[in-house]
């Protein structure tokens, strides 16, 4: 075992590294399951659209659904279900997108900076902006959901949905998950900035110096020549 391999394994077992991985696993648990809400969101949106367009046909599609399936297929109910599912989808994958480095970064300078400098930017952003802001929003979201629960808030429409506190609570859960992702990235930036130069572990939003140049913001560059070679190999294998 080389000294570098031993150092890498030792740093992978560092408490902050393990804690960041556990937080990432927590975030991904909710993010992966929250992503499935895209399916009912699409279905309810399509039913709502088709219901509006098929009103002048011999059989009113939406009216038939309301009378024979469920009252939830009324136009108002469908629209509220759409934004409910959209809220669940957005809130649950917010933190997941951060730990996977899939949030849009409108920054033409950062991608050309070295790892340490990028870590400084990430550290400042999570320390003074993301984490404090998310904590404040969680506090107000708690008041938001609690008031809805106490008053038994319902839709402003007479034919809308009840139990408005449920979706507000889901929004709060999503914000807590996002906060966990912020701490996961924050712990890693601390180690990159103040830890040993020889440490190596899987980063979430940064790249180690030796890995820079192979991709942009965590995305591997596609080398067309290599891709063509792989396609030829696949083709030759298929013929055999």
Give the pLDDT of residue 240.
Answer: 47
Give the pLDDT of residue 141.
Answer: 96
In DSSP notation, 94-143 reads HHHHHHTT-S----TTGGGS-HHHHHHHHHHHIIIIIHHHHHHHHHHHHH
Give the pLDDT of residue 26.
Answer: 97
Give the pLDDT of residue 224.
Answer: 47
Q: Which tokens belong to 42?
A: 């699409």
Burial tier of 11 (Cβ tally within 10 Å: 0-12, 13-18, 19+): middle
In the chain, which residues have pLDDT < 70?
1-12, 55-59, 61, 64, 213-240
Which residues does residue 208 pair with via DSSP β-bridges, in sequence order?
none
Give the pLDDT of residue 88.
Answer: 95
For residue 103, count other CB atoms closer than 10 A to its CB.
11
Burial tier of 60 (Cβ tally within 10 Å: 0-12, 13-18, 19+): middle
Give the pLDDT of residue 156.
Answer: 82
Give the pLDDT of residue 1.
Answer: 45
């Amino acid at each position: 075992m080389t000294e570098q391999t031993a150092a890498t394994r030792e740093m992978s077992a560092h408490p902050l590294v393990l804690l960041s991985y556990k937080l990432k696993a927590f975030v991904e648990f909710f993010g992966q399951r929250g992503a499935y809400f895209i399916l009912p969101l699409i279905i309810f949106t399509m039913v709502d659209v088709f219901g509006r367009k098929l009103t002048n046909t011999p059989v009113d599609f939406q009216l038939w659904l309301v009378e024979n399936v469920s009252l939830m297929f009324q136009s108002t109910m469908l629209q509220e279900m759409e934004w409910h599912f959209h809220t669940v989808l957005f809130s649950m994958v917010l933190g997941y997108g951060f730990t996977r480095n899939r949030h849009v970064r409108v920054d033409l300078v950062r991608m050309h900076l070295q790892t340490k400098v990028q870590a400084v930017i990430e550290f400042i952003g999570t320390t003074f902006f993301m984490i404090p802001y998310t904590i404040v929003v969680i506090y107000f979201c708690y008041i938001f959901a609690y008031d809805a629960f106490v008053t038994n808030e319902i839709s402003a429409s007479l034919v809308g949905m009840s139990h408005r506190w449920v979706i507000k609570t889901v929004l709060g859960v999503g914000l807590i998950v996002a906060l966990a992702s912020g701490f996961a990235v924050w712990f890693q930036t601390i180690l990159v900035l103040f830890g040993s130069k020889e440490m190596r572990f899987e980063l979430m939003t940064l790249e180690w110096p030796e890995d820079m140049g192979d991709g942009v913001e965590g995305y591997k560059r596609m080398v067309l020549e290599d891709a063509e070679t792989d396609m030829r190999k696949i083709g030759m294998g298929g013929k055999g």
